[in-house]
Structure 1
Amino acid sequence: MTTREFWRSIEAIHDVVYFAPEAIERYEQLGLRGFWMGYCASRGGALGAVGPEVATALFHGFAPGRVGRALPDAWDRTTPDAVLTARLDGAREALERGFVDLPADVDVARTADALHQLAGMLDLAGRPLAAAHRSVPAPTDPLGKLWHAATVLREYRGDSHVAVLTAAGLGGAESNALAAAVGLVTHDQYRSRGWTEEQWAAAFDRLQQFGWVDGTEATETGRAARERLEDATDRSCGAGLDQEGTARAYALVPALVPMARSIESTGVIFYPNPTGVPQP
């Protein structure tokens, strides 16, 4: 399964919990302080009251200090179940707003059912975040079910991508620096991910040793290397689905792409954004 439109649409549906105020406000109501405490607790909460070392390892692109300022302090303020409920409720509200411009011929309920079935077909070996989120009971309402399935699939690709990046010798700072060098994210990405200016500069120095950047801009070799990383992620994702599952994924693209574009057109998410995933 290599279609980028499928994965980019999945990312957009999932990402409403990062950019829409509905979810963020719900985390604040639980007593979680600041954006990153809500982010870390809600993204890792499917694993239980996960600590900073485990969360940093799974998230990959974040500096340990960024995660350590959120966890385990969040678990003194709320519980994993409460934050997961808040996240799901926020996602429902954000998608309802994001689908205002959705074409009338896109059937949300049918797409949600099909995406849920697809998420259940994934081989999750080596994909811990995806496995954790699939273990959370799926909602029965269309918007909740759609977002839950998209989340499992999004983390499935994310887990696959982390494996590819680490196999290529790229740590969290280098991975973000390469994304900035090729224009997928802005050059101040290090601030949101918690890296210091010194760590950011060191990441570019390491990429320069590979011949992938000249200063802070990607060379042709670096752009080709970044594309190979995406291709390898596509292959890894495809390996976790049989032919039937792959066919189902392709069949969902005509419904998922309009959903993603409606979410963008209504301002619920924006591009470019720190995830580094382009528009579908």
Structure 2
Amino acid sequence: MERQMWQLLEPIHAIVYYAPEVFEEFAKLGYDVETRWPSYFALRSAPLGTPSAELVASAFYSFNPKMVAEHIPTIASQGDILAARLRGVDRALRRLLGDRIDSRDLAEAAELARKVAEAVDTVGRPLAAANAALPWPAEPHLVLWQAATIIREHRGDGHIAALLTAGLDGVEALVSFAAVGAAPVEVFASRQWSDSEWAAAQARLQERGWVDADGNATPLGKEGRENVEKVTDSLAAAPWRVLGPQMGRLAQLAGPVTMTIVQSGLLPMQSTLGIGR
């Protein structure tokens, strides 16, 4: 159930990386918004303060560190970035949700999601901790977005722990996920590992028996990836227990918000998370 709830809330968080309103706010700060990545690294890493490229590469895990270094350090202050991303999300959600922005259902969804986010244990989870330390906005739609962000970074931090436990480095994590058909290899190319780095990771996984000569997952590889997801689910489960049977109520309330975002066409058809539009 934890995996389904993450998949339900992920699009609410993800609009921060795709909404034109966010790009407009970041253009005002001097960012190149013709492509996604210059603003992405600033948007996601800002809660960490002014982190080094090494710290961001560690926390983001599956990105080529050379790619990270191209975009870190950022060109605006932490305060300006955090304010711009909240303004952009505010404008985007107001446009997408219209009159529902002031609805009781949205306020209730925000309240329930915040309960989960505030129950998150951030020990050993840097991105979750950094986002959880930010002040809560007043408006329910922004509370829902911030809660979704904390919850997804909590899960993501745990996912890295699961990958490390399975002995998968950043590029091997992508190769093994592509091997089970989570998304085409071309989608994972966005992390900018070179062809030679990808091939070397594939060779290492073939030696372990996780993939065949064509890069497709073997039974061992499929089992290994499913174990990664199970460990991730287990590590993400604790905060959801605060809702008990109200988890279904949150799903009922957040579902229309997520569907509106998905149907807007803002999000990509496929992603490196294995979630498709």
Tell me if TM exceeds 0.5: yes
**Corresponding position of 2:131:** 133
TM-aligned CA distance change 1:105 to 1:92, over 3 Å: closer
Q: CA deviation at 1:129?
A: 0.5
**Corresponding position of 1:25:** 24
**Corresponding position of 2:236:** 237
**Corresponding position of 2:217:** 218
Give the whole-Å Cα distance in 1 for the aligned partners of 2:256 and 2:208.
39
TM-aligned CA distance change 1:208 to 1:85, over 3 Å: same
Superposition map of 1:1-280 within 5 A: 2-34=1-33, 35-72=36-73, 74=74, 77-99=75-97, 107-214=105-212, 215-238=214-237, 240-241=238-239, 243-278=241-276
Give the whole-Å Cα distance in 2 for the aligned partners of 1:18 and 1:242.
25
Unaligned runs of 5+ in 2: none
Give the whole-Å Cα distance in 2 for the aligned partners of 1:156 and 1:78.
26
TM-aligned CA distance change 1:95 to 1:223, over 3 Å: farther
Give the whole-Å Cα distance in 1 for the aligned partners of 2:82 and 2:20.
16
TM-aligned CA distance change 1:192 to 1:106, over 3 Å: farther
Q: CA deviation at 1:266?
A: 1.8
Q: Identify which range, 36-45 or 160-169, moves more after superposition.
A: 36-45
Give the whole-Å Cα distance in 1 for the aligned partners of 2:193 and 2:244.
37
RMSD: 2.3
Give the whole-Å Cα distance in 2 for the aligned partners of 1:136 and 1:115.
16
Give the letter for the 1:10 counterpart.
L
TM-aligned CA distance change 1:47 to 1:189, over 3 Å: same
Percent of aligned positions that are identical = 36
Q: CA deviation at 1:140?
A: 0.5
| 3-state SS, counterpart of residue 164 of structure 1 | helix
Superposed CA deviations along residues 19-52 of structure 1, whole A, max 9, x for unmatched, are: 2222123222211235322111121111111110
Q: CA deviation at 1:101?
A: 11
TM-aligned CA distance change 1:16 to 1:268, over 3 Å: same
Q: CA deviation at 1:190?
A: 4.4
Give the whole-Å Cα distance in 1 for the aligned partners of 2:140 and 2:103.
16
Q: CA deviation at 1:221?
A: 2.7
Q: Identify which range, 188-197 or 132-141, moves more after superposition.
A: 188-197
TM-aligned CA distance change 1:109 to 1:116, over 3 Å: same
| 3-state SS, counterpart of residue 271 of structure 2 | coil
Q: CA deviation at 1:100?
A: 5.8
| 3-state SS, counterpart of residue 71 of structure 2 | coil
Superposed CA deviations along residues 39-82 of structure 1, whole A, max 9, x for unmatched, are: 1112111111111000000000101011100011x2xx310111
Give the letter for the 2:87 counterpart.
D
TM-score normalised over the length of structure 1? 0.89
TM-aligned CA distance change 1:60 to 1:89, over 3 Å: same
TM-aligned CA distance change 1:117 to 1:242, over 3 Å: closer
| 3-state SS, counterpart of residue 188 of structure 1 | helix
Tell me the matched-pair count: 274
TM-aligned CA distance change 1:105 to 1:182, over 3 Å: farther
Superposed CA deviations along residues 191-243 of structure 1, whole A, max 9, x for unmatched, are: 311211111111111221222222222223322221221111011111x3374
| 3-state SS, counterpart of residue 241 of structure 1 | helix
